[in-house]
Amino acid sequence: MTLSIHTPTLLLSRELPSLKYTSTPDRFDETWEAPLSTLLGLGRAAGADFIEFFLERVNYISCLAEEDTITSISPRLSTGAGVRVFKGQADCYVSTNDLSFSGLKAALEKGLSIMGLQLPAPSSFIPEINLELLRDYATKKGKDAWLGQTSSMREMGDVLLNANALLNKKASHVQSRRATYFRDWQEVLVAASDGTFARDIRLAQSVGYNLLCADGAQRSSIAKRAGDTSSPDFLRSWNYEQAAEEVAESAGRMLYADYVESGTYPIVMANEFGGVIFHEACGHLLETTQIERKTTPFADKKGEKIAHESLTAWDEGLSTKAFGTIDMDDEGMPAQRTLLIEKGVLKNFLADRAGSLRTGHPRTGSGRRQNYTFAAASRMRNTYIAPGDYTNEDLFASIDKGIYCKKMGGGSVGATGQFNFAVEEAYLIEGGKVTKPLKGATLIGEAKEIMNKISMCSQDLALAAGFCGSVSGSIYTTVGQPHIKVDSITVGGR
């Protein structure tokens, strides 16, 4: 057998300025393999332990209908990239609008210098970074044509005007009504020095109503939104008649509601957006981001009981037609289903790459970011409490005097584990029955305590679209749960 010795021609640092690449910012495809591989090799030659490039193109448009007029159509086009450089467990992140080879190289150089590293000398060899064959979720799942298939500006306007007109018919004492829609199309490309090379297209759409009703000094304002990431036809299939009926009914009931009397109550929390309780009171505290900051009481509780045995909860990126669904996270890892809590026992944390590196918890495909100006961090996707064995009737029957939180507003959790959320639509529970409407309620409590007070879960799990803000910006998520009972919680009011 004769071996032919092939002397490879290794790339020298001084050759970089003369390299020509065919990649363009207009499309992320295999042509980016060569320049990104070169840049990754350059970074490794400089002494970085790990490097990741995140490239992004965004085509966003929003549309606003107020009363019977389209008052705003706002297109936004954006292109950008971020490079993350790790040395040991420390890292830095540099972002730029310049996606040319020299622009990305300049960003890399800045990142390296922040980490105390320098580009290699002109005579240095640049190691080859072998990227995997492009893992292209966009093409594989037929998403390449999505942008052209979404609703046109005219169609957006027509749907929103029709929807707003219908809302006017359904509601009474209308002071102002708005219908809003946005479509956020995003193409991303991730390349990393461990060989990750993945592309995806995301299409997040959301549509909804804002209704303000007034009758003398009485006022009510109700908002309702739907969101989807699975189909260009989302706006066309929006059931705005049902949405208008729900919004009108809620606003009408709340118009003459009394202010809630503050105190400590047992509560029943509705499904869908009621899931914000788990999202704020527990979900954030199971992100490795919080372990790193030492702001979660659950850091050393894996395998221990942290919640009532009635409670099982998941976070995943796989559900169809859910707002937090992704094919891959923003670090190129395929989406997963993660069991967070099983019958009260903490099973897993949500980890991104850096979180896994620093805490030892395995990555869960949870590295997410708002856009290229942020480094990814461990974030939620579709997060929900699993259905239980009780019926809704069981829940209400178990309460003599309490509050039914039918619609939740947003909430937050602080560094000490204290959470809060607003209740948009509430009712008194008296003798197991839902009675008069109440407004102005805020729920507060401690995360460690509240999870042990969710004692009953019904069977009607339903999800709702939401927006979550944290260290890596605002992202699209889903919250959800069946109807649940919380044995006692502090309700702030008047």
Q: Which residues bind another protein (CB under 8 A)?
A: 64, 66, 69-80, 90-98, 110-111, 114, 153-154, 157, 175-176, 212, 219-221, 259, 262-263, 292-295, 373, 375, 409-412, 414-418, 420-422, 439-442, 444-446, 471, 490-494
User: Smallest distance, Å, CB 337 to another protein?
Assistant: 29
Tell me the closest approach of the beta carbon of residue 154 to another protein, in angstroms: 7
Measured between alpha carbons, how far is 95 from 17 in angstroms, rounded to an integer? Answer: 21
Separation of alpha carbons 152 and 136, rounded Å = 26
Give 289's contacts (C-beta < 8 A, 6+ positions apart). Answer: 352, 355, 377, 378, 379, 470, 471
Minimum distance of another protein from residue 69's CB (angstroms)? 6
Is 199 or 439 the residue whose CB approaches another protein more closely?
439
Q: How far is the CB of 442 from another protein (least distance, A)?
A: 4
CA distances to 52, 80, 315, 372 from 42, rounded to whole Å, are 12, 20, 37, 21
- Closest contact distance (angstroms) between CB of 411 and another protein is 5
Strand 258-259 relative to strand 218-228, pairing: unpaired
Under a CB-based contact definition with an 8 Å cutoff, are residues 91 and 358 in contact? no
Residue 387 vs 492, nearer CB to another protein: 492
To the nearest whole angstrom, how small is the minimum distance from the Cβ of residue 258 to another protein?
A: 12
24 vs 160: CA distance, rounded Å: 36
> What is the distance between the alpha carbons of residues 398 and 368, in angstroms, rounded to a whole number?
40
d(CA 183, CA 202): 10
- Cβ proximity to another protein: between 37 and 383 the closer is 383
Instruction: List the one residue out of 366, 408, 363, 367 whose CA is nearest residue 383.
Output: 366
Of 342, 350, 343, whose CA–CA distance to 381 is shortest? 350
Q: Closest distance between another protein and the C-beta of residue 364, in Å?
A: 20
Task: Identify which of 210, 208, 209, 213 has the alpha carbon closest to the alpha carbon of residue 253.
Answer: 213
Which string of b and e fits 315-342 if b means at least 16 CB within 10 Å?
A: bbbbbeebbbbbbbbbbbbebbebebbb
- When the beta carbons of 297 and 334 are compared against another protein, the nearer one is 297
**Which residue, 84 or 388, is less far from another protein as judged by CB?**
84
**CB-nearer residue toward another protein: 10 or 153:** 153
- In the structure encoding, which two tokens stand for residue 144, read together? 């390449």
Q: Please, which residue, 97 or 435, has the CB nearer to another protein?
A: 97
Q: Nearest distance from residue 352's CB to another protein, in Å?
A: 13
- What are the backbone angles phi and psi of residue 305, rounded to the nearest 5°? -80, 120
- Shortest gap between Cβ of 277 and another protein (angstroms)? 12
Give 127 or 492: the residue with its C-beta nearer to another protein: 492
* Nearer of residues 432 and 440 to another protein, judged by Cβ: 440
The Cβ-side half-sphere exposure at 307, using a 13 Å CA radius, reads: 27
